[in-house]
Structure 1
Amino acid sequence: MGEVVGARRESVALPLPVLLVLAAFAAAVVAQGGYYLPGRVMSWLLVGVAVVLARPRHNLVAALGGVLALWALVRGLLEGDVLSGVPTAAAAGVFVGAVLVVAQTDQDQREVLGTVVAGVGALVGLTGWVAVVFRVPSWTTVAEGLLRAASTLTYPNAAAAVMAAGVVLSLVLRPTLLTAGAGFLLCTGIGATMSRAGAVALAAGLLVLCLSWGWKRTIVAALPPLLGAVVAMAALLPSMRVADEPKPLLAVGGLVAGAVVALGLRRLGRFALPLALLLAAGGVAAALAFADGLATRLSFSSPDRAGATGAALELVARRPVLGVGPGNGSFFFEHSNQGTRVMRYVHNEYLQVLVELGAVGLVLALGVVVVVLIALWRGRGTPLWPGALAAVAVLLVHSGFDFLWHLPVVLVVAGLCAGLGFPSTRGGKVEGVTG
């Protein structure tokens, strides 16, 4: 199934298992990230069928993922409800399954696959921008008086995570009008979410890309879409405050102008740097003009998350080894003069796993991460490796700030990106997935 087919030798066909994983990605994107049961089941089934058809060989990634899934079921059983462990077990399976299926593709197929991932992420960014400009309630959320893009995922931070991973991946793809446009929409989409964690994770991914791909190449590739996004965001800001009337003509003009910058900056030669500095200064000026509305998003203070973290650490102190059981991590805390608050998620997946599955579960989860990173290191030298490594870094960093592992869309994207950087596949033979 890994053959190149078509009327011309340049055309590349993706194997059916890979198409099913992409279908799981698309299904989760339109089904609110796959957070609710129908979206979860659809994602699980599609990835499960893909694994059955791909028949990947046994390896350490699959083994550790299987042990983690089994531990979640056992902890549920010990708490008297084995079904409570099913979501965690399925989440581990979705991630590992996506990794193993993508790892069987060859380099031509990976280039196409990476373009599709970036393209779908760009659509997420575009729908988020549209939702803010035209005030689409189901695709936006209101926070501190700002309308934040949530896209079809309906959760701004998850949308930002998916798009940030797509940004760093898009930068290492073959430069075309399509990939350049996708990179611009991805960066603009992240800005529209106003996600602080998304910005931090993107910065971490760009740093990893600088170290693995080279500073000069990264800066040259990243500057056009980032500056284009600055232009687009400067025109979008007046529409983001809920108290103000939206300004669609300004926003559309800014989006078009930003696209022109993103697609044409490299062609300006010696004029590119002065224009870049001018655009950056303009972006700063626009942000300062709306500083009163952006103040809460520019601060890393989050009383609710701090309170939930404290409550989570108290639960860990009570049951550090085995945890409280899957699905039992509810966090109660006092919030200034508003009385007792409760949060279902601690907004830190590593701490969430520690609370629910204990030190045993956290060690197993980190074991999966370490094995994936080792396999990624073994794949260095392949064309997409720097972007794949940076995308995985984006999601690992962002997972420390949000409940991303509870959304299949993030797990599928993580598996897709990781698999793209694994040792190359030729002639249907997997050359090494840490086995």
Structure 2
Amino acid sequence: MVLVETLVHKQDPVLSHIALVAAATAGVVAQGGFYLPGRTLVTVLAAVAFGLALHARRDLLTGLVAILGTAGAVVAWALLRGVVSGGLPVVAAVAASLATLVAALAAVRLTGPAARQWLMSGLVGLGTLVAVTGWAGVAWRLERWSVLVESTMWRAASTLTYSNAAAAVLAAAALLALALAVDDPNVWWRPCAVYLTQVGLAATLSRAGALAFAAGLVVLAAASGVRTVLRHAVPALLGAGVALAALIPSFPADASPRPLLAVGGLVAGAVVALVLPRLPAFVLLGAGAVLAVAAVLGLRHVAGLDALLARRATLASRGRSGATSSALDLVAAHPLAGSGPGQGRYFWIDHTGQLVVSRWVHNEYLQWLVDLGAIGLVLLLAFVAALILHVRAGRRAGVPIPLWAGAVAAIAALALHSAFDFLWELAVVPLLVGVLVGIAGPSHGEESATPPNGEETS
């Protein structure tokens, strides 16, 4: 107890950051915090982290007026719609998600660059565990860590049990790992984490996850330098491609898994990912060209490739298009106030002629518009704008580029992926967003600070 009191009174961030990493871990293990027990645990641990930070600085929330005000407006409108049209449990979930996000953000803003880097490393370590377990779930057909989709394809899911949710976490973790590797590639585990998180992301077979990672990679390159980022990203991508090729025969449900082949591909991919960056640039380009040609020639003979391409190498998604059409009908019927929190139901006819009913649109922005209408969407955009301004203030206050760029890239990936899946229903996602905004934002009391020369740090 004496040690705890000492750490807290010295404003040591270790305890609050341990609580945040524990909250993220609990969310990942408890199916993303989708169900009430997991959501409750994530919320409680985030509250513990906030309480520890608040004990160190009673004015912890000073400077967060815009974020608190817009978050309160969102909750107030959701509560009003919930009272009028029903859906109070959904309102409670919305309030808990926003509270978790703000609590995580506030706890992180108390700390400086070293502590934030430690926290980022913790999230990367958690993402690496998700990647390895998801990959193993496909390679050995472990139902705890993989999921059979539509009785045709096994996809990595880890303990989140939903492949696209695992992909969202992995895309963010891969971008954070890449930012850390760009900062100091000589720390041995960072390039390993870049490679493994990309392997795990590939094993989910999530198209939205791949698109989100690509968008985040563009953001990271713009902030940290294109050449620098690509020099670390390309070898890992090539290595992950090798590992994915060896995993392809294990994806189809009508084929037996090939774990030894998958392990061999994982090792070979690691050699590509970890050795190539140490070679001269012209050798790196030559090796990449050779691997590309070998992949084109060799993949034609990989068992299961045709089935994989037929299922995943397409922009079509009957479920999403059907749900979107039904959601737009609901928006047309209740454009201003929405149908009420969680009251919308989506109906469409699938390709077999069967009626399908769903609670989810697979697009959080459209889902929000259905539930809370244009008023709710405007309030949400105001809250997002407040978060963006906080992140911009962090850049002006001189948050180190590796931290700022990595966090912003991961936020961009999660934001884009939210247009293709119901990610906000998982408690771990708002928690991660809060942590990332906190990492990219200014430290407590620095919201209006600028570097001594009055210019932004490059």
The gaps in structure 2 that reach 5 residues or longer are 55-59, 450-458
**The one of 385, 389, 393 aligned to 2:412:** 393
Structure-2 separation of matches of 1:41 and 1:391: 25
For 1:186, give the aligned amino acid. Answer: T
Q: CA deviation at 1:161?
A: 0.6
2:22 alignment counterpart: 23
Determine helix, strand or coil for the equivalent of 1:137.
Answer: coil
Deviates more, 1:272-281 or 1:403-412: 272-281
Structure 1 residue aligned with 2:336: 321
Alignment match, 1:39: 38
- Asked if structure 2 preserves the Cα contact closer than 8 Å seen for 1:230 and 1:279, the reply is no
Q: Supply the distance in 2 between the matched residues of 1:263 and 1:211 (Cα, whole angstroms).
A: 24
Partners of 2:349 and 2:448 lie apart in 1 by: 47
Shift in CA distance, 304/254, structure 1 to aligned 2, threshold 3 Å: same
CA deviation map 1:65-114 (0-9, x unaligned): 22212222222111245334101111111122212222222000111111
- Return the TM-score normalized by structure 2: 0.88
Q: Which residue, out of 110, 135, 149, partners 2:156? A: 149
- Deviations 1:406-431 (CA, angstroms, capped at 9, x unpaired): 001122122222211112x3xxx431
Deviations 1:350-393 (A, max 9, x none): 00011111112111212222221222122225231111111110
Provide closer, same or farther for how the CA distance between residues 13 and 129 of structure 1 changes in structure 2, counting only shifts above 3 A. Answer: farther
Structure 2 distance, partners of 1:346, 1:358, is 15
Q: Is the 8 A contact 2:318 2:351 kept in 1?
A: no
CA distance in 2, matches of 1:112, 1:323: 42
Change (3 A) 1:285 1:418: farther
Pair 323,222 (structure 1): closer, same or farther in 2 beyond 3 Å: same
1:124 alignment counterpart: 130
Aligned equivalents of 2:237, 2:409: Cα separation in 1: 17
Aligned match for 2:173, one of 166, 186, 192:
166
Q: Could you tell me which amino acid in structure 1 is paired with residue 290 of structure 2?
A: L
Q: 1:266 aligns with which of 256, 270, 277?
A: 277
The yes-or-no answer on 1:77 pairing with 2:89 is no
Residue 346 of structure 1 pairs with residue 365 of structure 2: no
Are 1:179 and 2:190 counterparts?
yes
SS, match of residue 172 in structure 1? helix
How far apart are the structure 1 equivalents of 2:129 and 2:394?
29
**What is the one-letter code of the residue matched to 1:154?**
T
Please give the secondary structure, in 2, of the residue aligned with 1:138: coil
Pairing 1:342-421 to 2, within 5 Å after superposition: 342-380=357-395, 381=398, 382-383=400-401, 384-421=403-440
Measured in 1, the distance between the counterparts of 2:247 and 2:388 equals: 38
In 1, distance between residues paired with 2:407 and 2:327?
Answer: 32
Q: What CA distance in whole angstroms lies between the structure 2 residues aligned with 1:247 and 1:225?
A: 23
Q: Give the whole-Å Cα distance in 2 for the aligned partners of 1:328 and 1:286.
A: 50
Q: Deviations over 1:313-344 (max 9, x none)?
A: 11111111111111112111122442321111
Residue correspondence of structure 1 range 184-203 to structure 2 within 5 A:
184-203=195-214
Q: Name the stretch that deviates more: 106-115 or 371-380.
A: 371-380
81 and 313 in structure 1: CA distance in 2 versus 1, 3 angstrom threshold:
closer
> Partner of 2:455 in structure 1?
none
- What does the per-residue CA deviation read over 1:279-312, in whole Å, with 9 as the maximum and x for residues that have no partner? 2333444555413332220101011111110111
Structure 1 length normalisation: TM-score? 0.92
**Are the aligned partners of 1:184 and 1:228 in contact in 2 as well (CA < 8 Å)?**
yes
26-35 or 15-24: which moved more? 15-24
* Partner Cα distance (1:164, 1:141) in 2: 19
Q: What RMSD over aligned residues (CA atoms) do the two structures have, in Å?
A: 2.1
The 1:233/1:91 distance shift into structure 2, 3 A limit, reads same
The Cα shift of 1:397 comes to 0.4
CA distances 1:16-67 after superposition (whole Å, capped 9, x unpaired): 2222121110001110111111100001111122223323214111221222
Provide the residue aligned with 2:453 in structure 1: none
Q: 1:74 touches 1:85 (CA, 8 Å); kept in 2?
A: no
- Alpha-carbon distance in structure 2 between the residues aligned to 1:337 and 1:294: 21
Q: Given the alignment of the two structures, is residue 333 of structure 1 paired with residue 348 of structure 2, yes or no?
A: yes
Alpha carbons of structure 1 residues 137 and 337: separation in structure 2 relative to 1, 3 Å: same
- Higher mean alpha-carbon deviation, 280-289 vs 42-51, is at 280-289
- Give the SS at the match of 1:346: coil
Asked if the contact 2:327–2:361 (Cα under 8 Å) also holds between the matched residues in 1, the reply is yes
Distance between the aligned counterparts of 2:411 and 2:316, measured in 1? 26
Aligned partners of 1:327 and 1:356 also within 8 Å: yes
Change (3 A) 1:286 1:77: farther
Provide the C-alpha distance between the structure 1 equivalents of 2:242 and 2:352, rounded to a whole number of angstroms: 41
What are structure 1's unaligned runs of at least 5 residues?
6-11
- What is the SS of the residue equivalent to 1:141? strand
Q: What do residues 199-231 of structure 1 show as CA deviations (whole Å, max 9, x unaligned)?
A: 110111111112222111111121122111111
**Partner SS state of residue 312, structure 2:** coil
Q: Is the 8 A contact 1:17 1:101 kept in 2?
A: yes
Distance 1:67 1:101 in 2: 22
Q: Aligned residue for 1:8?
A: none
Letter in 2 for 1:98: A
In structure 2, the residue matched to 1:66 is: 72
User: Does structure 1 residue 280 correspond to structure 2 residue 280?
Assistant: no
Cα-to-partner distance string for 1:210-254 (whole Å, 9 max, x where unaligned):
222211111112112211111111111111111111111111011
Moved more, 326-335 or 188-197: 326-335
